[in-house]
Amino acid sequence: MCGIVAYVGNKPAQNILMQGLRRLEYRGYDSAGILVVTKNKKLKRVRSVGNVDELQKKLKNQKLAGAIGIAHTRWATHGGVTEKNAHPHFGQQGTVALAHNGIIENYQYLKQKYLANHKFKSETDTEVLAHLIEKFHAKLSLKKSVEKTLGLIGGTYGLVVISAKEPDKIMVARSGSPLAIGLGKNQNIIASDATPILPHTRKIIYLDDGEYAEITAEECQIYRLGTKGEIDKKAQKIDWTMEQAQKAGFEHFMLKEIHDQPIVIMDAVRGRLRPKEGSARMGGFNMTDLQAQKIKQITLLACGTANYACMVGKYLFERLAQIPTNAEIGSEFRYRNPVIDNKTLVFSVSQSGETLDTLVSQREAKRKGARVRGIVNVVGSTIAREADGGTYIHAGPELSVASSKAFTNMLMILTLYAVYFGRLRKMSFETGSKIIKEIQKLPGKVNQILEQAQAIKKAAKNYAGYKNMLFLGRGINYPIALEGSHKLKELSYIHSEAYPAGEMKHGANALLDPKFPVVAIATKNNLYEKMISNLEEVKARKSPILAVATKGDKKIQQLTQDVIYVPKTIEILEPVLNVIPFQLLAYYSACELKRNVDQPRNLAKSVTVE
């Protein structure tokens, strides 16, 4: 996720763009850049590593005079955090510049096919687009060059493009990454969300995927890829406050991030699935297939929510690849004498990439000769830097203290690694292919669950009054019960515990009574009948039951007070779907109890202390 802002009008662009960047900083803050078309039609650019303040410092001594420009605040995906990789990027001749949010999957192909003799200054996928558009623009108008390029791109983009040869306009395009156009009087402003636009106008057009526009100070013409002629799109009047706009109209970052999941799941797997091999491949893994085949055990290091993702990972690696796997809590691992060696592959799994206990454990594992790889969200973070390779989960900035979309994307990456290792061992092509096909259906299925948000809100109202709750799961869903309980505690402060349901009869059954509700995952998998028996026992002790069940399961209604239905998927992917109702349950319970949802008491987003 990155932030884009562009302006064309009758005012100095620099200030408007810089104010816009500040409002978009939550979307990425590892580098920033601004470019303005000067009066003598030169494209003048200033970029800086770090946040918008750093860029502002650089601009102190050099004013960018002009009334049209583009700017960008970056959340690195392809290429490290360097000034060279910061946007905007130029074409080879420096006559076209653009800023991009998203991932161009086929940039290597585009490079080889169309730009074989070009020299690139950055490691980004984005620079390829600037070169390509500029190349076509030698003979075609800017609009036609952008159209032609869009027809060749695979991946996602929110794009703003500017040309020294047509210096009165900005071309913008969207596929998968948001873009809004604010329509003003003799000025138009484009941005990744409404916040940079609202101080200038409240008339906003939200582009849909496949749409692109040619924008001057006076006009905004919108087109759709594959159809001829302008399309008629009405502007909406937006009454949001600035904060509401940053949250895309959601009440809290937490709710926004929960709703981001269908998109970020795709970002996690984009370019990593290998349907023709029934497998997956992670670019930064830095290990040959032969080396990977020699791995004898896997250790997953993490804390909190990330640890629950790792517990699912253990199940995946053992089930799909038959590799003995341990999910280890960072704060414990570092003080043990863990049995690891150079045939052990260690994954450090972390949203922030800065969690001290995970970091120190990673160092300990390295000291013992293990091969250490990161599965991290924040690009360039310490865990990512110190690991010998790894994979970014591409969840985008997660601002709510309680993790949601990062958890889901950790699950996705662990699944891809398990498929990869499975295929190097005994897993058949058919099994690998089936998993890949099911992965591709997940975003749509997550959307179906999100559509039930109001029903989950109602359920949360019924349960928010209880003082204690118990989450039950079995098999691969036990870690999801743990995560559901964890989310509920941290957001609503309701005490809760999680158990593998089969373990209840060994002690926890004593807790059951009408004041102790049970939240159970009872989806249709190979342990379904066992879970139903467990719930019969719960019902007999008169504890109210809220179940997460598979769509179409009527039987479950005889046992439960409330049911949240999730679509059917294969068992190994159930965690990705089953966690969503729990995130919403925790969120709405916290709202009901008037908790500080985005910043729960006593917690911090990144735990860099022991």
Site for ligand F6R in 250-289 (CB under 6 A): none
Judged on CB neighbours under 10 Å (0-12, 13-18, 19+), 604 is exposed
What is the DSSP track for 77-127?
SSS-SSTTTSSPEE-TTSSEEEEEES-BTTHHHHHHHH-TT---SSS-SHH
Separation CA 393–CA 390 (nearest Å): 10
Q: Which of 473, 472, 476, 471 is nearest to 488 (CA)?
A: 471
Q: Which of 2, 220, 303, 591 is catalytic?
A: 2
| Cβ–Cβ under 8 Å, residues 371 and 224 | no
Choose one: 171-179, 258-266, 287-295, 303-311; the region binding ligand F6R (CB under 6 A): 303-311
Asked if 301 interacts with ligand F6R (CB under 6 A), we say no
Q: Which is nearer to ligand F6R, 305 or 589 (CB)?
A: 305
User: Catalytic pick from 11, 84, 568, 605?
Assistant: 605
Q: x/- binding map, residues 479-518, to ligand F6R, per CB under 6 A? A: -----------x----------------------------
If one asks whether residue 305 binds ligand F6R (CB under 6 A), the answer comes out as yes
- Whether 220 sits among the annotated catalytic residues: the reply is no
How many amino acids of this chain bind ligand F6R (CB under 6 A)? 14
Distance in Å, CB of 352 to ligand F6R, minimum: 3
Task: Please choose, from the candidates 2, 5, 90, 87, the residue with its C-alpha nearest in 3D space to the C-alpha of residue 42.
Answer: 90
Of 157 and 471, the one with the shorter C-beta distance to ligand F6R is: 471
**Cβ burial, residue 537 (10 Å; 0-12/13-18/19+):** middle
Question: 């069940």: which residue's tokens?
Answer: 549
Helix (H, G, I), strand (E, B) or coil at 450: helix
Residue nearest to ligand F6R (CB): 304
| Site track for ligand F6R across 136-155, x = CB under 6 A | --------------------
State the minimum distance, in angstroms, from the CB of residue 401 to ligand F6R. Answer: 6
Bridge partners, residue 301, by sequence: 328, 348
Q: Which residues share a beta bridge with 297? A: 344
Residues in the chain: 610
Binding test (CB under 6 A) with ligand F6R, winner from 14, 77, 145, 358: 358
Angle, CA of 411, 417 and 422, to the nearest 5°: 120
**Contact map string, positions 54 to 83, toward ligand F6R, x by CB under 6 A:** ------------------------------
Q: Which is nearer to ligand F6R, 175 or 358 (CB)?
A: 358
Task: For residue 599, give the amino acid letter.
Answer: Q
Strand blocks (E) in 284-426: 297-302, 325-329, 344-350, 371-376, 390-392
Which residue, 130, 127, 123, is CA-closest to 82?
123
Q: Which of residues 56 and 606 has its CB atom nearest to ligand F6R in the complex?
A: 606
- Distance between CA atoms of 46 and 24, rounded to whole angstroms? 18
User: Nearest approach, Cβ of 85 to ligand F6R (angstroms)?
Assistant: 23
Amino acid at 93: Q
Tell the smallest beta-carbon distance from residue 487 to ligand F6R (Å).
6
Minimum CB distance to ligand F6R smaller for 132 or for 254: 254
Q: Choose the stretch contacting ligand F6R; rule: CB under 6 A; options: 86-94, 148-156, 179-187, 299-307.
A: 299-307
CB of 481 to ligand F6R, least distance (A): 15
What is the Cα–Cα distance from 285 to 355, expressed in whole angstroms?
A: 21
C-alpha closest to that of 107 among 90, 82, 132, 85: 132
Which of residues 153 and 491 has its CB atom nearest to ligand F6R in the complex?
491
Packing angle of the helix pair 126-137, 107-114 (nearest 10 deg): 30
Q: Given the rule CB under 6 A, which of 133-141, 213-221, 251-259, 297-305 is the region that contacts ligand F6R? A: 297-305
327-356 binders of ligand F6R (CB under 6 A): 350-352, 355
Cβ-based nearer residue to ligand F6R, 52 or 378: 378
Contact 87, 99 (CB under 8 A): yes
Q: Find the shortest distance in angstroms from Cβ 309 to ligand F6R.
A: 9
Residue 551, CB-side half-sphere exposure with 13 Å CA sphere: 11
Give the helix ranges, DSSP H, for 368-518. Answer: 382-386, 405-424, 429-450, 453-463, 478-492
| 99, 269, 303, 413: which one binds ligand F6R (CB under 6 A) | 303
Shortest distance in whole angstroms from residue 347 CB to ligand F6R = 12
In three-state secondary structure terms, 288 is coil
In the complex, what is the shortest distance from the CB of residue 405 to ligand F6R, in angstroms, rounded to a whole number?
11
Q: Is 304 in the site for ligand F6R (CB under 6 A)?
A: yes
Of the residues 52, 76, 142, 306, which one makes contact with ligand F6R according to CB under 6 A: 306
In the set 48, 149, 361, 403, which binds ligand F6R (CB under 6 A)? 403
Q: Which is nearer to ligand F6R, 81 or 511 (CB)?
A: 81
Q: Which is closer to ligand F6R, CB of 101 or CB of 352?
A: 352
- Cross-strand bridge partners of residue 468: 495
Q: Which residue has the tokens 């998993």?
A: 435
CB of residue 477 vs ligand F6R: minimum separation in angstroms? 18
Q: Which stretch binds ligand F6R (CB under 6 A): 42-50, 138-146, 298-306, 339-347?
A: 298-306
2 counts as catalytic: yes
| Sites of contact with ligand F6R (CB under 6 A) | 303-306, 350-352, 355, 358, 402-403, 490, 606-607
- What are the catalytic residues? 2, 605
